[in-house]
Structure 1
């Protein structure tokens, strides 16, 4: 299980499945395949709904490794990323 992952209620994740950083799994989903970083999945079995960000934004967020920092450092990094528009979704 990656960092900053959101799981809806009643989600079942099969043993050995990897869920990447920043992924979102919809409620009542059955996850039987790996979920990419920042991918949104849902259903039975879980399928890709969309990606949260572009590949460039995903790379920049992962390179920041804000989740490995202490709280104050993480706040500064997140504020910097927000100023660059990295936490705005790319989908309408």
Structure 2
């Protein structure tokens, strides 16, 4: 039986959570860092992941060992080392480089709804992952990913569409991820057994 989830997020005690917003029925796995980020209802992150400056939609499935918005270094400086921007760790009379961290925050990652990010994937700063997309395990995302597309590789490239464009547009128009908990429960068997076309026809998409 799966771990019971509810309105309060389930956070592993070894996870590092800082300045985060988590929706209902969400879960953060062991040894995961979730920093200055938000995650919508019914989404989860498995263990040993790092997510920073990221907005994640609802119903997203993020596998273990993923890295979302890894920090860039100041390559244009004489030294790109940590000591130049985390100076307080090295010098008693020096402050951290606030402008550098503001620059990092200026390139957030945005992830839509019902996105699956596979084991060990990396999403670089400033990228957008569209609703319904799939990022294959081990992929390195250097460009935006369109809704309902499947990408893989390093750098990640489109493999195929998850659904035809017309179906993807109908799903986005339906917006089932905004349904309340009772409606989701009522439609559970339809999610499981109907084709996507039949599901859309039945539920008005």
TM-score interval for Structure 1 and Structure 2 normalised by the shorter chain? 0.7 to 0.9
* Secondary structure of the structure 2 residue equivalent to 1:63: helix
State which of 57, 74, 89 in structure 1 corresponds to 2:184: 74
User: Which residue of the partner structure matches residue 60 of structure 1?
Assistant: 170
* Structure with the higher fraction of residues in helix conformation: 1
Superposed CA offset, 1:20-47 (max 9, x none): 0110011111001000000000000000
Residue 41 of structure 1, aligned match among 147, 151, 161: 151
The structure with more radius of gyration = 2
Deviations along 1:41-85, whole A, 9 cap, x unmatched? 0000000000011111011100011111112223556738x4633
What is the DSSP-based 3-state SS (H/G/I as helix, E as strand, rest coil) of the residue aligned with 1:50? Answer: strand
Task: Return the alpha-carbon distance in structure 2 between the equivalents of residues 65 and 77 of structure 1.
Answer: 14
Q: Name the Cα RMSD after superposition.
A: 2.1
Partner residue, 1:2? 112
Gaps (5+ residues) in structure 2?
A: 1-110, 201-205
- Partner secondary structure for residue 60 of structure 1: helix
- The equivalent of 2:198 in structure 1 is 85
Q: Which has the higher contact order (CA 8 A, sep 6+)?
A: 1
Aligned residues: 86
Structure 1 residues not aligned, in runs of 5+: 88-92
